[in-house]
Structure 1
Amino acid sequence: MSLERTLTVRVERISRETPEILAFELAHPWGRALPGYEAGAHIDVHMPGGFSRQYSLARAPSNAVSSYVIGVKREAESRGGSASMHERVREGDLLAISAPRNTFPLREEAGHHLLMAGGIGMTPLLAMAQALAARGASFTLCVFARGEDHLAFADALRNPALAPHLRLHLDQGDASQRIDLHALLAERAPNTHLYVCGPGGFMKAVREAAAHWPEDTLHAEYFAAPTDANTGTGLPFTLRLAQRGISVPVAADQTAVDALHEVGIDIPVSCQQGLCGTCVVEGDGEGAEHRDFCLTGSERRHKVALCCSRAKGRELVLQL
């Protein structure tokens, strides 16, 4: 497999959305169109200091994509990525990014889309809401924020096309500005799909409130692997590569990606937490111990995220 395509973009505009969030508009250095994408997509951004982070595209795609918009929250416990974007990136700078990819798409089979955004998790869901509004689809956008001052992309939310579909929850507001998660998710209307993105605590609360929903109707995008995620080591096993007719051993303290890299087989990786889907390949998903957060239940039957998942038994068959 070859490395993913890398693009060079210019930082056209930086705007402050909240005390902690900056919006970055990225365009082609020579004004050319950028690769298209679908709502829910994200890009890898390679930034000063050698950091690489994934950021969702916060605007619905158009026929000719002139720029990408991302939102970056300055995290108090940043490992360096958000600090680099806030402190070292300036308008006019050139950045390397990946082409957009989408592990969090809108589901065409859904009759109604319930979008639930916590804080900066609004970025992919805002793009989804804009796309759904443009095609007259049925949806509800629930945005959760601490208060008005912490509401990112507020101008976009004021668009008349979104107003009938928007429910706003403000922690610092009065009772009329709060949404009861359990009441909201207690009953699932027929053919409704739920999409959620936000901080870990918010994600956990939504997942618990929607625990009775069918697995394939709940779609989530995480910023980081949950703190209780099983991402440790395991027993050694063997990867059987069906197309090559070879087997590759994976040690107990080694990932499948690292084992394949050691024998010269290139598997692109990015987040290395099972969040972004870069390393997903076709394979015997039934034989995998899935530890990712990007595949649906049905996808896990025939796909595997190699950066974190292991074999249930002694062997895992991949279509490589």
Structure 2
Amino acid sequence: MSLERTLTVRVERISRQTPEILAFELAHPWGRPLPSYEAGAHIDVHMPGGFSRQYSLARAPSAASAGRYVIGVKRELASRGGSASMHERVREGDLLPISAPRNTFPLREEATHHLLLAGGIGMTPLLAMAQALAARGAAFTLCVFARSEEHLAFADALHAPALAPHLRLHLDQGDASSQRIDLRSLLAQRAPGTHLYVCGPGGFMQAVRDAAAHWPEDALHTEYFAAPADAGAVTGLPFTLKLARRGITVPVAADQTAVDALHEVGIDIPVSCQQGLCGTCVVEGDGEGAEHRDFCLTGSERRHKVALCCSRAKGLELELQL
């Protein structure tokens, strides 16, 4: 497997946000600045036990952040090892390898209003977005869905004076007077220029997609924790990759990914999540000829880009700018 440049950071602080969520503040071991990023970015964290997971940066980049990264990690009951490792084995002062930040979930400059919908720990990239939007005086609404106040992560940041006027909070439990948000009513009409950003558990994501089915595809932006349970397998019919810049073709077997086929002939394609979520393996190519199985590209991007870890050709050949 190929990975992008790896950095080493020190775990400066660990703070409990909810019974299930810890926040980790990461800094350069020698106090140097960490690479810059834009709100919506994520990093790969390589943790004890050989696990690697992607976590969104939960703080907008600013002078106040002192070049530190903040991530939120929910301890999943059905953890495959990653969240358990972060919660049980990582301590303050530990050194962790991480990737440089990359962003497949950016704020759209063309938007005149930003509607941010966060479910549970899915608030992490959207919190950073809200902070960035508040700093620039942009128009936005941040809707956060949580079980209860006890399960509301980063509550202090959410209730900060800069965000409070823009915040709408939906709590499933608690006082009957708690504000509730009806997704279908909220998304029934789209004001011109409004863009929708969504991150949260699979069920929440699907509920938002259903309620916003009539929105233009390029006005809806999503960040998934994991590929949906009903996502198709990466295998399929065999096809050929046509590498336009090299003038060669590479066969892809029925039970093989395009990334693996390219690696076999010595062509290095960086990969990370291998589920079509993070965008690491995205390349320029004939998106019209691809059977897209990713969850990171917009409709317009799919016309000229392909996520090679999971997507295949619609026909017998797929041309790439490689």
Could you say which residue in structure 2 is the equivalent of 1:261? 263
RMSD (Å) for aligned C-alpha atoms:
1.2
Give the drift of 1:316: 0.3
Counterpart CA distance in 1 for 2:185 and 2:252 is: 46
Whether the 8 Å CA contact 1:3–1:266 is kept in 2: the answer is no
Counterpart CA distance in 1 for 2:103 and 2:146 is: 25
TM-score where L is the length of structure 1: 0.98
Alignment of 1:71-220 (within 5 A): 71-173=72-174, 174=176, 176-220=178-222
Counterpart CA distance in 1 for 2:148 and 2:249 is: 55
Aligned-partner residue type, residue 181 of structure 2: I
Counterpart CA distance in 2 for 1:223 and 1:54 is: 8
Could you say which residue in structure 1 is the equivalent of 2:307? 305
Counterpart CA distance in 2 for 1:5 and 1:218 is: 30
Counterpart CA distance in 2 for 1:132 and 1:142 is: 14
Give the drift of 1:175: 5.5
Give the drift of 1:232: 3.9
Alignment of 1:277-296 (within 5 A): 277-296=279-298
Moved more, 167-176 or 306-315: 167-176
Aligned-partner residue type, residue 218 of structure 2: D
Q: 1:240 aligns with which of 236, 239, 242?
A: 242
TM-score where L is the length of structure 2: 0.98
Counterpart CA distance in 2 for 1:51 and 1:4 is: 16
Give percent identity, aligned residues only.
Answer: 88
SS in 2 for 1:286: helix
Moved more, 65-74 or 289-298: 65-74
Whether the 8 Å CA contact 1:43–1:101 is kept in 2: the answer is yes
Give the drift of 1:66: 1.7
SS in 2 for 1:177: coil
- Paired residues in the alignment total 320
Whether the 8 Å CA contact 1:34–1:65 is kept in 2: the answer is no
Aligned-partner residue type, residue 253 of structure 1: D
Give the drift of 1:65: 5.0
Give the drift of 1:231: 2.6
Could you say which residue in structure 1 is the equivalent of 2:229? 227
SS in 2 for 1:77: coil
Counterpart CA distance in 2 for 1:163 and 1:209 is: 25
Give the drift of 1:230: 1.6
